[in-house]
């Protein structure tokens, strides 16, 4: 006969249904708020928008690939997609270069660990908009950086650091850095310190111990952090739209412009899907590449 409730729960836990039960809440949120809207967007991307004689927007509910054909035929769109990918890759690279030393020191820190961790996370406590305005103050024409450059005599005229590509890179890298640091640190922290001693005992100097032991062992964290930063950077909107000053177009800003400015939902939806597919393709390819570095525990 059936056992106690505890027993039945135990058996339930062992079954594969329990896995489903565990992910069901988050899965339903994903389906309701992400999958269904994205599918609806996909549907929209196959329609067309017409502007009526009186300026009214008319949605032609005819399935066609016209929007995608427009994308493929447009060097303008291609350049924006390319700029977006290059921006996201550059940001990822900058985050690796700037984040690795921070994550490494953080993973070795003892006494100040809590405070250092808080400092790394501090940017999250301030809204993206506020942070971006902060950068505008620092990087602007009459900002701190230019004042210092002019005062030191390094330049004779203010350097444009904002409302251009450079400004976007600085702003987005700043926002993405904590993600890289946290992901990397989690992996670096788990690397057994005695491995460094083992390497040194075998004759490896500190640099060799790092390059032959620590670095290879941190690769999973580097890959995970890079994927995270790349995926977030590719679709980031607030910072590029503010720091770019409307002069630099990225996929996110152009999607906003098509959808809200031009009220061309089908075109905006098409661009959103192009971005989604491209991002997934890049992530998939890098996963394949990452597998070559992988070792099984």
Output phi, psi for 64, to 5 deg: -155, 165
Q: Supply the DSSP symbol for 33.
A: I
When the beta carbons of 125 and 207 are compared against other proteins, the nearer one is: 207
Q: Are 123 and 180 in contact (CB under 8 A)?
A: no
The Cα-based distances of 75 to 24, 69, 80, 165, 240 in angstroms read: 43, 12, 9, 19, 21
In the complex, which residues of this chain contact other proteins (CB under 8 A)?
192, 194-195, 197-206, 208-209, 212-213, 216-217, 295-297
Q: How far is the CB of 195 from other proteins (least distance, A)?
A: 5
When the beta carbons of 13 and 212 are compared against other proteins, the nearer one is: 212
When the beta carbons of 222 and 251 are compared against other proteins, the nearer one is: 222
Q: How far is the CB of 105 from other proteins (least distance, A)?
A: 20
Which are the contacts of 168, defined by CB distance < 8 A and separation ≥ 6? 87, 239, 240, 243, 244, 248, 250
When the beta carbons of 7 and 294 are compared against other proteins, the nearer one is: 294
**Whole-number Å distance between alpha carbons of 83 and 31:** 31
Q: How far is the CB of 204 from other proteins (least distance, A)?
A: 5
Q: How far is the CB of 199 from other proteins (least distance, A)?
A: 7
Q: Are 161 and 139 in contact (CB under 8 A)?
A: yes
When the beta carbons of 134 and 201 are compared against other proteins, the nearer one is: 201
Q: Are 50 and 60 in contact (CB under 8 A)?
A: yes
Which element (helix H / strand E) includes 275? helix 265-290
When the beta carbons of 225 and 266 are compared against other proteins, the nearer one is: 225
Output phi, psi for 50, to 5 deg: -120, 145
Q: How far is the CB of 194 from other proteins (least distance, A)?
A: 4
Q: How far is the CB of 219 from other proteins (least distance, A)?
A: 8
């Amino acid at each position: 006969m059936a056992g106690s409730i505890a027993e039945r729960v135990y058996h339930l836990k062992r079954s594969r249904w329990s896995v489903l039960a565990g992910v069901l809440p988050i899965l339903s949120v994903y389906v309701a708020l992400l999958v269904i809207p994205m599918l609806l967007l996909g549907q929209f991307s196959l329609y067309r928008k017409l502007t009526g004689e009186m300026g009214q927007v008319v949605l032609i509910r005819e399935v066609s690939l016209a929007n995608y054909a427009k994308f493929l035929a447009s060097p303008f769109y291609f350049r924006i997609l390319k700029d977006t990918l290059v921006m996201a890759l550059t940001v990822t690279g900058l985050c690796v270069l700037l984040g690795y030393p921070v994550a490494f020191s953080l993973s070795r820190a003892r006494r100040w660990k809590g405070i250092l961790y808080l400092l790394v996370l501090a940017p999250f406590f301030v809204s993206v908009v506020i942070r971006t305005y902060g950068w505008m103050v620092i990087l602007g024409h009459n900002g701190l950086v230019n004042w210092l450059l002019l005062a030191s005599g390094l330049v004779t005229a203010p350097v444009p650091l904002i409302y251009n590509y450079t400004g976007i890179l600085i702003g987005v890298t700043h926002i993405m850095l904590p993600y890289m640091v946290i992901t990397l640190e989690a992996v670096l922290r788990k690397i057994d310190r005695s491995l460094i001693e083992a390497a040194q005992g075998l004759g490896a100097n500190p640099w060799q111990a790092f390059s032959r032991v620590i670095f290879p062992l941190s690769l999973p964290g580097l890959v995970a952090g890079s994927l995270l930063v790349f995926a977030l950077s590719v679709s980031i909107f607030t910072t590029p739209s503010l720091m770019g000053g409307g002069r630099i177009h990225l996929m996110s800003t152009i999607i906003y412009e098509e959808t809200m400015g031009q009220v061309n939902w089908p075109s905006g939806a098409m661009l959103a899907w192009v971005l989604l597919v491209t991002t997934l393709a890049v992530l998939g390819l890098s996963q394949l590449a990452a597998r070559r570095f992988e070792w099984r525990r």
